[in-house]
Amino acid sequence: MDALELAYAGIARQAELIAAGEVSSRELLDLYLERIARHDPRLNAFRVVFAERARLEADQADARRGAGGERPLLGVPIAVKDDIDVAGEPTAWGTNATDGPAPANAEVVRRLREAGAVIIGKTNVPELTIWPFTESATFGATRNPWDLQRAPGGSSGGSAAAVAAGLVGAALGSDGAGSIRIPAAWCGLFGLKPQRGRVSLAPRPRAWHGLSVDGVLTRRVADTALFHDVASGATQIDEDSAPPPTVPFAQSAATPPTRLRVAFSTRMPPGTLGGLGVDAERAVQETVELLRSLGHDVTERDPDYGLGGIPEVLTRYLRGIHDDARGLAHPERLERRTRGMARLGALIPPALLERSLANEGEFTRRLNRVLEEHDVLITPSTATPPPRVGQFQGRGAIWTLNAIAGMVPFNGVWNVTGQPAASVPAGFGADGLPRAVQIVGRPNDEATLLSLAGQIEAERPWAQQRPAEFS
């Protein structure tokens, strides 16, 4: 396998190659370090690269393999989003308002290391992971490998850009209102928001009052499935947990589904400013046609969004931002727009937050009526293509919030319900940028999403497509 193929092979294939002795961990790591040095100055995907530390880890992995050691990700480099702790390294959250290194690895990082992974670096995020674009006054703008004048999405934008450009095989992300699915959609990747409680958030017991979960961005469904087989499981610290799958996620991803009952909807949630783009609608319609050709029963059915989920999402989102800002070592250093979002969150009293949490069950039941008669629901992943870099520069909190809500209206409600949802590539638009659809599953049913996404991937082998400037 040549160097370019290896860079884009994905973590499942890379793990196989290392285990078979066809490539060493050090060779793979050095390939990525060279690509990062050559390409990342244009992308700004990484905040920090652990070059020397990662070389030591790669050499240790090679020695372990040489001694007959076997681990699922032995010697495979993986990047970590900069809202997740890596021991000894500051967790910057896209700001200079934090202080000091993390005392220990987050549980998800600990499990990756236990599985043999090599942590290559930390990827950029918008300040406090607030926005679906990745720009901050402290660390600059991250760019989309498919068009350097466009955003890669956010808040896992650095992770998405790094994977899409072949700078790493997979990167951790978090999703509080679409922050895995949105950058996956805009960068041509597969992005699964898992069931709440599937991946431990420790040392945090919860994030954004239950909105946010951790996951991964990858090029292939098999890579995401392998990650979840390795990393899933709550700890005593976590307030949420999810039942283990009946079969390994990798098996689900590799097994095409039987005939599914698929609902689809292109209706914009009520209260959304803006309209659905032509390419976004076409992505859904073409996916519907594909699924019908594969024998699935597909019908149009709109979920009952109520008020669009705006009160349910905003209550936790804004209060979560307020709480995160208040807990910083130097909140006075935050950007003006971030301070504005924190002030909005301060307007949400604890009683309103408690009411929102108490009403979650009813909200979830109403939204899931569409899945009582269907196995999955398909919607657009985003309503529009990615914004231009700097498009929101200088804009205030409320203006920016209204603008981005119209771009990504389909995601946050499923964070409130906590159930799994994934962004699946769906070709390219007239502008040459990736398109995607969102597939929503029933609670605790990542297995069906992985199975269906794997079937779609077999028909549309999107991982073969690479940004021209990074090939």
In the set 24, 25, 136, 155, the catalytic residue is 155
At 393, give phi and psi (nearest 5°): -60, 130
User: Distance (Å, rounded) from C-alpha 82 to C-alpha 5?
Assistant: 27
| Per-residue pLDDT band at 219 (split at 50, 70, 90) | very high
| Per-residue pLDDT band at 374 (split at 50, 70, 90) | very high
Residue-wise burial string across 98-132, b where 16 or more C-beta atoms lie within 10 A, e elsewhere: beeebeebbbbbbbbbebbbbbbbbbbbbbbbbbb
At 352, give phi and psi (nearest 5°): -65, -40
| Per-residue pLDDT band at 54 (split at 50, 70, 90) | very high
Mean pLDDT of the region 141-162: 98
Q: Is 155 a catalytic residue?
A: yes
3-state helix, strand, coil in the chain (%, to 5): 40, 15, 40
Enclosing H/E stretch for 192:
strand 190-193
Q: What is the pLDDT of residue 29?
A: 98
In the set 24, 25, 174, 179, the catalytic residue is 179
Does residue 308 carry a pLDDT above 90?
no
Asked if 158 contacts 187 with a C-beta cutoff of 8 angstroms, the reply is no
| Per-residue pLDDT band at 122 (split at 50, 70, 90) | very high
Residue in this structure with the two tokens 């480099």, named with its chain if needed = 77
Looking at domain 3-470, what is its CATH homologous superfamily?
Amidase signature (AS) domain (3.90.1300.10)
Residue 359: CB atoms within 10 Å: 14
In the set 25, 81, 122, 200, the catalytic residue is 81
Helix 446-459 to helix 221-231 angle (10° resolution) is 160
* pTM, to two decimals: 0.98
Of the candidates 167, 164, 222, the residue with the CA atom closest to the CA atom of residue 7: 167
What are the pLDDT digits (tens) for 67-105? 999 999 999 999 999 999 999 999 999 999 999 999 999
Q: What is the pLDDT of residue 271?
A: 85
Asked if 28 contacts 6 with a C-beta cutoff of 8 angstroms, the reply is yes
User: Distance (Å, rounded) from C-alpha 464 to C-alpha 471?
Assistant: 11
Q: What is the pLDDT of residue 273?
A: 82
Q: Is 81 a catalytic residue?
A: yes
Does residue 169 carry a pLDDT above 90?
yes
**pLDDT > 70 fraction of the chain, expressed in percent and rounded:** 100
| Per-residue pLDDT band at 33 (split at 50, 70, 90) | very high
Does residue 1 carry a pLDDT above 90?
no
Residue-averaged pLDDT of the chain: 97
Question: What's at 158, amino acid-wise?
Answer: G
Q: Is 356 a catalytic residue?
A: no
Mean pLDDT of the region 56-67: 98
Does residue 351 carry a pLDDT above 90?
yes
Both structure tokens of 193: 């928001």
Mean pLDDT of the region 123-135: 98
